[in-house]
Amino acid sequence: MMRTGLIKHTEYMEFLKSVPTFHDLQEDILSKLADVLEETHYGDGEYIIRQGARGDTFFIISKGKVNVTREDVPNGEPVYLRSLGKGDWFGEKALQG
């Protein structure tokens, strides 16, 4: 189990180093980030976070694509804004706390 944990930590470290936003962070900071990362998988069409929800999580995309939408007030339909992919992140307001 310990070896598996170390392998996962190394994978997380390599992933964080590949994210342009984190290039300039020191190794010890990256290691602390890797320690607290939690991997979560979402299916096609599944919502990660909804508009107006409490933003208490910071997300970094490691695989796949995320569509960013906002709710159109008159008809309640989602309006496409942009796509995010590997290395992109969102939920930065969670870091302020």
- At residue 89, the 3 state secondary structure works out as strand
pLDDT, position 40: 94
Task: Compute CA 5 distance to the chain's CA centroid, rounded to the nearest angstrom.
Answer: 20
pLDDT value at position 96?
A: 62
- Rounded to whole angstroms, the Cα distance separating 15 from 19 reads 7
Q: What angle do CA 84, 22, 47 make, to 5 degrees?
A: 30
Model pTM?
0.78
| pLDDT computed for residue 41 by the predictor | 94
Element (H, E) at 34: helix 27-36
Terminal-residue alpha carbon distance, the chain: 32
Which residue has 């342009």 as its token pair? 20
CA dist., res. 8 & res. 2, Å (int): 10
Please name each of the domains of the chain with its CATH number. Answer: 1-39 (no CATH), 41-96 (2.60.120.10)
66-71 vs 78-84, strand pairing mode: antiparallel
**Residue-level pLDDT, tens digit, the chain, 97 residues:** 677 778 899 999 999 998 888 888 899 999 999 999 999 999 998 999 888 888 888 899 999 999 999 988 788 788 999 999 998 989 877 766 5
